[in-house]
């Protein structure tokens, strides 16, 4: 059990309540991988993941999709304190290769307000892929601002701040093999707590 690190201030107990066990995540990813391959039986699939959180999902998904798969990475950041709700998303690292004429699957750990995905879909559509689809491990439909949706969804979850399996709180917890709800002082958080 970790405690907050602020010196000289009262410490708030911080813990993670398991929401989705690692084995359930892996089982669901196997199903998604089959579904994706069924939809594109003869295509080479080009998986594009968004750094950093999406990487865990991408590597597990890529290993479970039969047939030819390649991948690439992109990074974005959001202006303002309130990460995504400002809607100002900016490209910080572009893909290495062209996606023109390719069957592209955008692979994201979480679909929250949808601002990141809306930005990415607009960007990628301009580059003329043959197909453009979206796979997300977690979907928080209750938080949506942008009118976007995923084609493949692992789990739909409530409005609680989740960590693990790529998702972080101040860069911590990404390495947990499961997804959990961050609890501060016994309370679940709806958004990233102020540091």
Hey, which residues are catalytic here? 112
Stretch of 9-17, 114-122, 125-133, 152-160 lying at the interface with ligand PRP (CB under 6 A): 114-122
The strand pairing partners of 179, in sequence order, are 20
Structure tokens at 7: 């010196």
61 is an interface residue for ligand PRP by CB under 6 A = no
Taking contact as CB under 6 A, which single stretch among the options 17-25, 90-98, 111-119, 152-160 is the one that binds ligand PRP? 111-119
Q: Are 109 and 61 in contact (CB under 8 A)?
A: no
Retrieve residue 55's tokens. 């990487």
Question: Residue 35 in contact with residue 12, Cβ under 8 Å?
Answer: no
Angle at 47 between CA 88 and CA 179, to 5 degrees: 70
Residue 144 CB, nearest approach to ligand PRP (Å): 8
- Annotate each residue in 153-172 with x if it binds ligand PRP (CB under 6 A) or - if it does not, as one string: ---------------x----
User: Which positions touch ligand PRP (CB under 6 A)?
Assistant: 50-54, 83-84, 108-117, 168
């Amino acid at each position: 059990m970790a405690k907050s690190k602020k010196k000289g201030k009262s410490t708030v107990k911080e813990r993670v309540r398991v929401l989705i066990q690692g084995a359930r995540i892996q089982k669901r990813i196997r199903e998604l991988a089959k579904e994706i391959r069924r939809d594109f039986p003869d295509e080479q699939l080009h998986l594009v993941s968004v750094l950093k959180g999406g990487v865990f999902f991408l590597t597990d998904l890529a290993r479970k999709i039969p047939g030819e798969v390649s991948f690439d990475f992109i990074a974005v950041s959001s202006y303002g304190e309130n990460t995504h709700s400002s809607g100002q998303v900016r490209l910080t690292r572009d893909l290495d290769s062209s996606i023109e004429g390719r069957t592209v699957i955008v692979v994201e750990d979480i679909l929250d307000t949808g601002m990141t995905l809306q930005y990415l879909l607009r960007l990628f559509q301009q580059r003329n892929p043959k197909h453009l689809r979206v796979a997300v491990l977690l979907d928080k439909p209750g938080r949506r601002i942008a009118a976007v949706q995923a084609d493949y969804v692992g789990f739909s979850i409530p409005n609680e701040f989740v960590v693990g399996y790529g998702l972080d709180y101040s860069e911590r917890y990404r390495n947990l093999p499961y997804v959990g709800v961050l609890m501060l002082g016994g309370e679940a958080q709806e958004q990233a707590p102020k540091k």
